Amino acid sequence: MHLLAIGGSDAGIAAALRARELDDTVEVTVMLADEFPNFSVCGIPYLVSGEVADWRDLAHRRREEIEALGIDVATATTALAIDVAAHRVRSTGPDGAERSTPYDRLVVATGATPVLPPIIGLDRLGAADGVHALHTMGDTFEVLATLSERRPERVVVVGAGYVGLEMAEALTRRGLAVCLVEAQPQVLSTLDPEIAEVVAATLVEHGVEVRTATTVREIERDGDELVVRARDHGARTPTDVEMRAGLVLVVTGVAPDTALARAAGAAVGARGAIRVDRRMATGLPDVYAAGDCVVTHHALLGEGYLPLGTTAHKQGRVAGENALGGDRRFAGSLGTQVVRVFESVAARTGIRDHEARDAGLDPRTIGVSADDHKAYYPGATRVEVRLTGDDATGRLLGAQLVGTVASAVHKRVDTAAAALFSGLAVDELSDLDLAYTPPLGSPWDVLQVAAQRWRAEASAPPVAR
């Protein structure tokens, strides 16, 4: 039995590790196009900031550790085609030669690639000009090379999603002047404006120039500088703005990398991602897929595209188990996400008001603000919570939080995620027996304060067990 995983990031490695864990006789190979198996790409901002000194530390496991488990790691090997009938994958290896690798079970974990917005000049400019995408370790080394060789003083970051904000922080920490440009009217458009604006304020406090409602239209090279031309459509009368920078970083999201699977006949779904069932099977015989290249089962919404490392780990693990004859099901994503930006932390789980409405539900969303711990104990900070519940059934639908690192927002959201996973009602949040000590909490946790506020406003009948 030979399990082959195409892709050396979270999903591919998770599949390989799970297979090895379950059966030490199975042959396991991970094939990847670059030289960086099992790297934590979520850690790239902290390498760029200098908080992580050595890029090798970004590996979840070193190559030797993976190989010591008896997993074959084929780096610099690009998969070209899957022959489903013959159970073979054609690839080019480090020597440039083509080869054909047989498999019994295949896990496609080809991940995602950056989506570049329609900016004039972007097709002509690249790393050599100081214009960068940021998705792989290779991209990272190019950014680091630009930073050390061209020594830019100003950076324009295009895109104020999670990565854009983390990179704005990272480059500020390195001493650069950062302008963060976002076409949407707010940063972090996956969060409600009330939550996102707290993070935006933190960016501004740390000297980041935040330009929302501003669409970049053109990037041009002018000697050693880059000229970024954009349209600010935030005011009633749009205006044209021009920014100059030594480095432009374009981080405006990703799309699933599915060419290989589609060519082999795999069906695709949301956002063009590979369609899989909850066993992570593609429908092609003996071919599983997992991670950023697949459609993800969302516990509340059904099929969607949610490229996240945590999900990739879980799906890879399921794929690896099922490839060996197991019968695990991916339990479903809740889109749980957290971002730390300087001392601020924002997080969400579940769905927001408009997402629930789009899904035909009858949501009600409330916002509260409460201290992370008893105000009499020094150091209390405010946590803002927005809670969404189904006003027909009382079921909890989602939670968004923002606060400081010290307020443990990043773990408070997990309580809501566990409640959502279990299908709890908003009222039941109030019934949870949560931990309390004055320096670290309150007798009613902020989620419970939010639940009580929701109940006071809701039409749904009370729910209790």
Phi, psi of 285 (to 5 degrees): -60, 125
Let me know: does 364 contact 356? Beta carbons within 8 Å: no
3-state class (DSSP) for residue 112: strand
Instruction: From 428, 426, 409, select the one nearest 364 (Cα to Cα).
Output: 426
Residues 9-38 that bind a copy of itself (CB under 8 A): 10
Q: For residue 170, give every residue at least 6 positions away whose Cβ sits within 8 Å of its Cβ, in sequence order, or none.
A: 45, 46, 48, 49
Residues 391-410 that bind a copy of itself (CB under 8 A): 405, 408, 410
Per CB under 8 A, the segment of 77-85, 109-117, 224-232, 431-439 that binds a copy of itself is: 431-439
Question: Are the beta carbons of 199 and 192 closer than 8 angstroms?
Answer: no
Neighbours of 205 (CB within 10 A): 11
Within positions 319 to 358, which residues make up the interface with a copy of itself, using CB under 8 A?
328-329, 331-340, 345, 347, 349
In 7-158, beta strands by DSSP E: 27-31, 71-74, 78-83, 88-92, 98-102, 105-108, 112-114, 131-132, 154-158
Q: Draw the binding track, 76-105, toward a copy of itself (x: CB under 8 A; -: no contact).
A: ------------------------------
* Nearer residue to a copy of itself within complex by CB, 252 or 336: 336
Using the contact rule CB under 8 A, the part of the chain among 121-129, 203-211, 227-235, 430-438 near a copy of itself is 430-438
Q: Using alpha carbons, select from 375, 399, 400 the residue that is nearest to residue 389.
A: 399
- For a copy of itself, the closer CB: 122 or 165: 165
With CB under 8 A as the contact rule, the residue among 102, 285, 438, 461 that binds a copy of itself is 438
Q: Which residues contact 49 (CB under 8 A, 6 or more apart)?
A: 169, 170, 171, 173, 174
Q: What per-residue string of b and e applies to 452-464 under the rule 16 or more CB within 10 Å gives b? A: bbbbeebebeebe
- Considering the complex, what minimum distance in angstroms separates the CB of residue 461 from a copy of itself? 12
Contact residues for 456 (Cβ-Cβ < 8 A; gap 6+) = none
| Whether 293 is catalytic | no
- What is the footprint of a copy of itself within residues 208-237 (CB under 8 A)? none
The residue from 66, 73, 385, 419 that contacts a copy of itself (CB under 8 A) is 419
Nearer residue to a copy of itself within complex by CB, 141 or 227: 141
Q: Closer to a copy of itself by CB, 32 or 119: give it.
A: 32
Q: Which is nearer to a copy of itself, 104 or 431 (CB)?
A: 431
Residues 6+ positions from 177 with CB-CB distance below 8 Å: 153, 154, 155, 207, 209
Distance CA 331, CA 61 (A): 26
Residue 208 CB, nearest approach to a copy of itself (Å): 18
Give the binding-site size for a copy of itself (rule: CB under 8 A): 71
> Where on the phi/psi map is residue 202: left (φ > 0), alpha (ψ -120 to 50), or beta?
alpha
Site residues for a copy of itself, window 53-72 (CB under 8 A)? Answer: 57-58, 60
Out of 1, 42, 80, 255, the active site residue is 42
Nearer to a copy of itself, 146 or 311 (CB): 311
Q: Which 267-326 residues touch a copy of itself, going by CB under 8 A?
A: 299, 308-311, 313-314
Q: Which listed range, 75-83, 196-204, 242-250, 412-420, lies at the site for a copy of itself (CB under 8 A)?
A: 412-420
Q: Least distance to a copy of itself from the beta carbon of 195, Å? A: 14
The helix or strand, by DSSP H or E, that contains position 255, with its residue range, turns out to be strand 254-256
Q: What is the x/- site pattern for a copy of itself, positions 232-251, by CB under 8 A?
A: --------------------
Considering all CA atoms of the chain, what is the largest pairwise distance in Å, rounded to the nearest integer? 70
Stretch that binds a copy of itself, among 85-93, 129-137, 355-363, 424-432 (CB under 8 A): 424-432
Please say which residue, 101 or 336, places its beta carbon nearer to a copy of itself: 336
Nearest-approach distance from CB 389 to a copy of itself, in angstroms? 16
Which range in 25-33, 123-131, 191-199, 432-440 contacts a copy of itself by CB under 8 A? 432-440
Q: For residues 168 and 230, which CB has a smaller minimum distance to a copy of itself in the complex?
A: 168
Of 52-60, 127-135, 223-231, 387-395: span binding a copy of itself (CB under 8 A) = 52-60
120 contacts 218 by C-beta, under 8 angstroms: yes
By CB neighbour count within 10 A (0-12 exposed, 13-18 middle, 19+ buried), where does 393 fall? middle
Q: Which is nearer to a copy of itself, 182 or 428 (CB)?
A: 428
Check if the beta carbon of residue 395 is closer than 8 Å to that of residue 384.
no
- Contact assessment for residue 300 and residue 336, using Cβ atoms and an 8 Å cutoff: no
Residues of span 374-393 touching a copy of itself by CB under 8 A: 374-378
CA distance 350 to 368: 18
Residue 190 interacting with a copy of itself (CB under 8 A): no
Which of the residues are catalytic? 42
